[in-house]
Amino acid sequence: MQKTALWLFASLLGLGLAGCTSMTSQDGHDETQARPASSTDTTTAPQKVKYADFEPEVLYELLTAEIAAQRGRYDVTLANYVRAAKQSRDAGVIKRAMRIAQSLNGDNAQRQLADLWLETDPDNLEAHRVAALQAIKRNELQTALDHMEKIMELGGDADFDSLAAMAANLPPEQQSELLNLYRKLETRHPDNQEIHYSIALLLKITGDPKAALTQLKPLLDRQPDFQPALVLKGDLLYETGQKEAAVQFLQTNTRRYPDNRQMGTLYGRILVSEGDLQAAQDEFQRLLERFPDTPGLRLSHALVALENGDTEVAREDLTSLIEQGHHTSEAHYYLGRIADQEGDIESAIGFYENVKEGSHFFPALARLSALRADLGELDQALAHIHQLRGKNPGRADNFWLIEINLLASNDRREQALKAANTAIEAYPDNARLLYARAMLRDSKGNTPGAERDLRAIIDQQPDNAVALNALGYILTNQGGRLAEAEELIRRALAQDKNNPAIMDSMGWVLYRQGRVDEALTYLQAAYDNFPDPEVAAHLGEALWTSGQRDKARRIWRDGLERKPDDTLIHKTMERLGAGLTP
């Protein structure tokens, strides 16, 4: 029995401990030896291996750990390795234990092992890195910076900028604390460009982009080719409203440093934000030619091409991503949209069905369900939603919302209202479900019920522009509480001043109060941004009342060309005794 156990242990060490740089004895000498083959041998002699001379207790811990690993009990493996590392203080065991702890995301074990490693080897760079990372996770920022400063003194890369970037996930008070700590580092190491850069990055994160630009200037004066600072400067120029300067700066520097992918990506995204989609597509194409194996660039190129109407280029990129196994859910979603827009319903359904995860999962499911309903398969679509909801109880509210909207859009409003009631019983404070029920209640003439739901949302979220606007619009149409309606809509507009739906509501409530000239300003702006038939009905009525009847007819005519069967425009014209011709 003992011989079998020792043989098994030797086998496991040979396989399982291969990750160690060496297994050393207590005096630190490498005892791994191999007998060279004789020149007369016809075959290579097997290696004779001697393992470290561990105490029996340590050997038992290691043996138990490796057997547990063979059986998939990695928690036991890690616990035993930590004990073996503490008992043996052997460098190979500590390193092996650390690898296991990192693969299992065992933060507590990593912290203990890092401390042990530094006790046995105070200048070990890897141990300092692990200790720094674990200190960050515990929000012990001073300790983290102490380890990073030690790494720098030992000649390693301290990654000060990485810690600064991570500050975006910290609470504001800890961001400020970290900034103060970096300021102290700056006084101790005035020539360290990474620390200067990190302070600029922290100033951006803490909401002071102008100060960040000021911080970067002396750094770039001394080091004009320090590319991380150049990227940050381009970002800061844009953030501080110097948009044209940011575009020109990044255009120049992406040509100076064509291999800086981060800079090129930032430039492309700013071009998208500025609406220069063709230039953005060209930039992502340039990056893709230099970095053809970067899936994120290919996806960005595809999406910009899609916005530009370059469907075939987008299709080629998205198909390539699926073939390579990258961003597959996003690629299937956008291929589904392409097929959908082209009227290829069967292909669209197939693509949407393959969106399995990520932020596009629920939009894909919603559109997939709508397409099936259009094909007469509403009940099958509902059954599919129910099945998914049962399998994903943690996201049941999203599935309820899709079901409610699907029923409502297919004239099953009673069933939709029943589903909304059931969902809200389970999620009484869910704003999206409350809003969906409010719209259903309003469509059935239940204004008090709709108001209660919208008030419940506003009580929880006083700045919810959607709920404020919806309630203001409902009260406007009721006619008796126009001042209150205006106040609600103004609050919504303060939160989202460029939203055409809210501008339309603002114009409409002003018109209902007889303030026609003021109303026209908002209604025209809403129509210019979103020429929806409902907005056209409102704008046309205000124009008609103000005496601009030809312009009113033109607006109504344009609205009916977009949606010939729109009932609101027809009812408006009928109520006013208006026609499309004089």
DSSP characters over 64-124:
HHHHHHHTT-HHHHHHHHHHHHHHH--HHHHHHHHHHHHHTT-HHHHHHHHHHHHHH-TT-
Q: CA-based angle 258:204:237, to the nearest 5?
A: 50
Residue 74, pLDDT above cutoff 70:
yes
**Residue 317 counted as domain residue:** yes
**Residue 278 counted as domain residue:** yes
Question: Which DSSP state fits 395?
Answer: G
Q: What is the mean pLDDT of residues 39-67?
A: 62
pLDDT tier for residue 69 given thresholds of 50, 70 and 90: confident
Supply the pLDDT for residue 53. 65
Supply the pLDDT for residue 175. 86
Question: Which DSSP state fits 260?
Answer: -
Q: What is the pLDDT of residues 100-142, one digit of tens each?
A: 999 999 999 999 999 999 999 999 888 988 888 888 788 888 8
With H, G, I as helix, E, B as strand and everything else as coil, classify residue 24: strand
Q: What is the mean pLDDT of residues 320-331?
A: 96
Q: What is the mean pLDDT of residues 365-381?
A: 97
Q: What's the one-letter identity of residue 226?
A: F
* Count of structural domains, the chain: 1
Q: What is the pLDDT of residues 422-458, one digit of tens each?
A: 999 999 999 999 999 999 999 999 999 999 999 999 9
**Residue 295 counted as domain residue:** yes
Q: What is the mean pLDDT of residues 505-517?
A: 96
Tokens 């033109």, located at residue: 554
Residue 97, pLDDT above cutoff 50:
yes
Whole domain around residue 301: which residue ranges?
Answer: 242-326
CATH number at residue 313: 1.25.40.10
**Residue 466 counted as domain residue:** no
pLDDT tier for residue 191 given thresholds of 50, 70 and 90: confident
| Cβ-contact 203, 212 below 8 angstroms | yes
Cα 152 versus chain centre, distance = 33
Q: What is the pLDDT of residues 266-312, one digit of tens each?
A: 999 999 999 999 999 999 999 999 999 999 999 999 999 999 999 99
Supply the pLDDT for residue 479. 83
Which residue, 92, 73, 100, is CA-closest to 25? Answer: 92
Q: How many CA atoms lie within 13 A of 566 on its CB side?
A: 20
Which residue, 550, 536, 484, is CA-closest to 512? Answer: 484
Q: What's the one-letter identity of residue 565?
A: D
Query: Is residue 293 packed enough to be buried (19+ CB in 10 Å), middle (13-18) or exposed (0-12)?
Result: exposed
CA distance 321 to 5: 50
Residues 6+ apart with CB under 8 A from 444: 413, 417
Between helix 277-290 and helix 295-307 the angle, nearest 10°, is 160
CA distance 389 to 378: 17
Residues in a beta bridge with 30: 24
**Lowest mean pLDDT across 44-58, 120-134, 405-419, 468-482:** 44-58
Token pair for 164: 């600064």
| Cβ-contact 518, 510 below 8 angstroms | yes
Residue 46, pLDDT above cutoff 60:
no
Residues 6+ apart with CB under 8 A from 210: 240
Residues 6+ apart with CB under 8 A from 126: 98, 117
Token pair for 119: 């006790």
First-to-last alpha carbon distance for the chain, in angstroms, is: 107
Count CB-CB contacts under 10 A for residue 71. Answer: 10
Residue 181, pLDDT above cutoff 90:
no
Supply the pLDDT for residue 49. 34
CA distance 489 to 473: 8
Query: Is residue 109 packed enough to be buried (19+ CB in 10 Å), middle (13-18) or exposed (0-12)?
Result: buried
Token pair for 479: 């006619």
Residue 42, pLDDT above cutoff 60:
no
Which residue, 375, 380, 373, 418, is CA-closest to 400? Answer: 418
Residues 6+ apart with CB under 8 A from 314: 302, 303, 305, 306, 334, 338
Token pair for 278: 């063709």
**Residue 47 counted as domain residue:** no
* Mean pLDDT for all residues in the chain: 88
**Residue 476 counted as domain residue:** no
Supply the pLDDT for residue 50. 40
Q: What is the mean pLDDT of residues 458-475?
A: 96
Q: What is the pLDDT of residues 207-227, one digit of tens each?
A: 999 999 999 999 999 999 999
Residue 22, pLDDT above cutoff 70:
no
Supply the pLDDT for residue 341. 95
| Cβ-contact 559, 523 below 8 angstroms | no
Query: Is residue 280 packed enough to be buried (19+ CB in 10 Å), middle (13-18) or exposed (0-12)?
Result: buried
Q: What's the one-letter identity of residue 101?
A: A
Residues 6+ apart with CB under 8 A from 293: none
| Cβ-contact 545, 513 below 8 angstroms | no
Question: Which DSSP state fits 30?
Answer: B
| Cβ-contact 386, 407 below 8 angstroms | no
Token pair for 270: 């700013």
Query: Is residue 409 packed enough to be buried (19+ CB in 10 Å), middle (13-18) or exposed (0-12)?
Result: middle
Q: What is the pLDDT of residues 487-499, one digit of tens each?
A: 999 999 999 999 9
CA distance 454 to 466: 9
Share of the chain above pLDDT 70, in %: 91
**Residue 119 counted as domain residue:** no
Length in residues, the chain: 582
pLDDT tier for residue 27 given thresholds of 50, 70 and 90: very low
CA distance 258 to 268: 13
Token pair for 388: 């998914």
**Residue 288 counted as domain residue:** yes
Supply the pLDDT for residue 52. 52
Residues 6+ apart with CB under 8 A from 133: 110, 144
Share of the chain above pLDDT 90, in %: 69
CA distance 116 to 90: 10
Query: Is residue 277 packed enough to be buried (19+ CB in 10 Å), middle (13-18) or exposed (0-12)?
Result: middle
